[in-house]
Chains A and B, each alone.
Chain A
Amino acid sequence: MTNSNGPDEIAIQVEGLVKRFGEQTAVDHVDLAVPTGSVFGLLGPNGAGKTTIVRMLSTLLRPDGGRALVAGVDVMQHPAAVRRVIGLTGQFAAVDETLSGYENVYMIGRLLDMPAKDARRRAEELLLAFGLAEDARKPAKQYSGGMRRRLDLAASLVGRPKVLFLDEPTTGLDPARRNDLWEIVRDLSQNGTTVLLTTQYMEEAEALAQDIAVMDRGSFIARGTAEELKVRIAGRTIRLRPAAAADLPVLRDVLLEVLGVADDAAPGTLSGPVSEDARVAALLRAAAAKDIAIADISTVTASLDEVFLTLTENKTEKTEAR
């Protein structure tokens, strides 16, 4: 936190960020550091405060406390400088529907002080890259939902932003269109653009983000890679099926003794949480000691959906006691 020069540059640095709307605290002392060129996923339900964070970082909303640096520039002190290095794609495609796709992108180029010729070339280049070249001259209101999103994204990339904010970029898109957009985001990230993405879909966070923060009611309730979150928070589950059904009650006692929990996963199969590898070994030793023949054994890592549910149902205390 003292030095962000060098290869591990921090593109977005947030410390103790607060935003209140009247009595309600929409964002409550959030800390965040996103390395340059990475994708950071902000995951949470509606109203968690994701959009509020994005709006503060993109200078649309003034924070009530804390500070935020985007590409090393303070968003409160130098909002105009921040605007020169960011791109924003909001929840709704922010395009002028009466204008053609080309005119929409061209206008942004002109607003970014590009000479007319450069703005024209950049617009054509982006529309081509996003598969909109053929419909470039059609009014945007004739575009499909996926095309509008791509146009919106193209508009936010005109100025080759160093930091790109994507606020629920795929909400309402069908899976094929969503995958197209994911590809674009991956490309951008590979080319050094830092992306902060908000989403309600764990799948999306998992597919794109190196780092994920799970948000609920204005605070981060967990963070890490998708893998870490899955293992750490919802944990892994072991499933055991004894060869003889008669061994089931004995196995249940073993599970209760070693893991403290014995759930009926399926007929003839028991399951329990195993947060550490050592527990698996301990469990198998205990079963062997009671002469239980195990026919089938498997461990399952929770899906990110389960992690999400666990967390947002405020069961964090339980898992932290682990």
Chain B
Amino acid sequence: MTAITSSITPSNLSSHTGFRDTMRHTGALIRRNLLSTKATPEELLDVTFFPIIMTVMFTYVFGGGLKATTGGNYIEYLIPGIFVQMLSFGSIGVGIKLNSDFDKGLMDRFRSLPIARTSVLTAHLVSSVLRLLLASLITFAVATCLGFRVHTNVGEFFGGIALLLALGFGVSWLSLYVGTVVRSPQAVQGVLQIALFPLMFCSSIFTAVDTMPGWLQAFAKVNPLTTAADSARAMMVGGQFGLGNSAWVTLAWALGMSVVFAPLALRAYNRHV
């Protein structure tokens, strides 16, 4: 080993990448993600157009029928739920993006560079949260146009958004995990949609849980999308929608998902060939 040293040996053999370096690398990669999104705005359809369609459809098609069981003003009931739906489904995109990096060989380039491997993952995660933030703004604007009004104070409202972003953060880790272990970007979408659709409909997003059969209620009540929708309702509309312990349960779900899926994602990512 020592016999074959040469004068072109890099002086620094350290594998350690400093914190500031990692921040800068992550920044360069976030910039890349944002430029990419700017160049392909159709990628934002799932977090912009999809929630709008759901809002309009549920308000005008099902709203009349659902009004009685959801407190009289369906749009006030629905919009906080739409935020939840948008933030959970919007997290699918990050897994798809990560998977396409593997798919297109870009990951080989990143991994052959002297950067911390995790900076690619971190950059995707931050970009995902920024995407969700943008989507929240759009959803809020559309909701306001449709007659939705916030009845709580600014602090509560932003607290609600922060809580939902925390859940989006947790789902993003799940998405990154799936994005690392399945074979194609299409498969990422498929797997996550299959997981999220039942969660979305068997929750309090669109209708009150107590109108469901007992066995389904049991599921719907512990469903993180229910607790997230309930807390969002309490923190954006308030009044008849009480907070209870839903915010804590949602936060626990967000933390739990991050704690479980972040190490899984990191491990799978580091092992990915």
Interface residue? A162 (CB, 8 A): yes
Interface residue? A191 (CB, 8 A): no
State whether A98 touches B108 (Cβ < 8 A): no
Among candidates A98, A99, A111, residue contacting B113 with C-beta atoms closer than 8 Å: A111
State whether A88 touches B108 (Cβ < 8 A): yes
> In the bound complex, how far is the Cα of B16 from the Cα of A32, in angstroms?
29
State whether A107 touches B31 (Cβ < 8 A): yes
State whether A60 touches B9 (Cβ < 8 A): no
Interface residue? B195 (CB, 8 A): no
Interface residue? A199 (CB, 8 A): no
Among B32-40, B49-57, B142-150, B224-232, the stretch that binds chain A is: B32-40
State whether A98 touches B35 (Cβ < 8 A): yes
State whether A73 touches B32 (Cβ < 8 A): no
> In the bound complex, how far is the Cα of B5 from the Cα of A5, in angstroms?
8
Interface bin, chain A = 35 or more
> In the bound complex, how far is the Cα of B15 from the Cα of A90, in angstroms?
23
Would you list which residues of chain B between 22 and 78 have a CB under 8 Å from chain A?
A: 24-25, 27-29, 31-32, 35-36, 39-40
Return the CB mask of B232-252 against A: 1 if under 8 Å, else 0. 000000000000000000000
Interface centre among B5, B8, B12 (most CB of A within 10 A): B8
Among A74-82, A206-214, A240-248, A300-308, the stretch that binds chain B is: A74-82
State whether B28 touches A107 (Cβ < 8 A): yes
State whether A58 touches B112 (Cβ < 8 A): yes
Interface residue? A224 (CB, 8 A): no
Among candidates B14, B24, B112, residue contacting A110 with C-beta atoms closer than 8 Å: B24
Shortest Cβ gap from B13 to chain A (Å): 5
Interface residue? A95 (CB, 8 A): yes
Would you list which residues of chain A between 268 and 296 have a CB under 8 Å from chain B?
A: none
Among candidates B27, B36, B108, B115, residue contacting A99 with C-beta atoms closer than 8 Å: B36
> In the bound complex, how far is the Cα of B15 from the Cα of A80, in angstroms?
5
Among candidates B6, B14, B273, residue contacting A5 with C-beta atoms closer than 8 Å: B6
> In the bound complex, how far is the Cα of B21 from the Cα of A81, in angstroms?
15
Among candidates B10, B27, B104, residue contacting A94 with C-beta atoms closer than 8 Å: B104
Interface residue? B194 (CB, 8 A): no
Shortest Cβ gap from A35 to chain B (Å): 11
Interface centre among B16, B24, B32, B115 (most CB of A within 10 A): B32
Among candidates B5, B6, B111, residue contacting A59 with C-beta atoms closer than 8 Å: B111
| Chain B residue with the shortest CB-CB distance to A141 | B39
Among A8-16, A41-49, A176-184, A314-322, the stretch that binds chain B is: A8-16
> In the bound complex, how far is the Cα of B114 from the Cα of A80, in angstroms?
5
> In the bound complex, how far is the Cα of B111 from the Cα of A284, in angstroms?
61
State whether B113 touches A83 (Cβ < 8 A): yes
State whether B15 touches A78 (Cβ < 8 A): yes
What are the residues of chain A within 8 A of B16 when measuring CB–CB? 80
Would you list which residues of chain B between 250 and 273 have a CB under 8 Å from chain A?
A: 273
Among candidates B5, B32, B104, B111, residue contacting A103 with C-beta atoms closer than 8 Å: B32
> In the bound complex, how far is the Cα of B112 from the Cα of A55, in angstroms?
9
Interface residue? A311 (CB, 8 A): no
> Do A73 and B13 form a contact, CB below 8 Å, given A59-B112, A83-B113, A113-B24?
yes
> Do A3 and B111 form a contact, CB below 8 Å, given A84-B10, A91-B105, A95-B106?
no
> In the bound complex, how far is the Cα of B40 from the Cα of A93, in angstroms?
20
Shortest Cβ gap from A17 to chain B (Å): 14
State whether A3 touches B14 (Cβ < 8 A): no
Interface residue? B153 (CB, 8 A): no
| Chain B residue with the shortest CB-CB distance to A21 | B273
> In the bound complex, how far is the Cα of B108 from the Cα of A59, in angstroms?
10
Interface residue? B17 (CB, 8 A): yes
State whether A60 touches B108 (Cβ < 8 A): yes
Interface residue? A108 (CB, 8 A): yes
State whether A81 touches B12 (Cβ < 8 A): yes
Contacts A/B (CB < 8 Å), 25 sampled: A4-B6, A10-B6, A55-B108, A58-B112, A60-B108, A60-B112, A60-B273, A69-B4, A71-B6, A71-B8, A72-B4, A72-B8, A80-B14, A88-B112, A93-B105, A94-B104, A94-B106, A98-B39, A103-B35, A107-B28, A107-B32, A110-B25, A111-B110, A112-B113, A156-B109
Q: Which A residues lie at the B interface, using CB under 8 A?
A: 1-5, 9-11, 13, 36, 55, 58-61, 67, 69, 71-74, 78-81, 83-88, 90-99, 103, 107-108, 110-113, 139, 155-156, 162
A-B contacts besides A90-B109, A111-B110, 11 pairs, CB < 8 Å: A9-B7, A71-B6, A72-B6, A72-B7, A72-B8, A80-B13, A80-B17, A84-B114, A86-B112, A88-B108, A110-B27
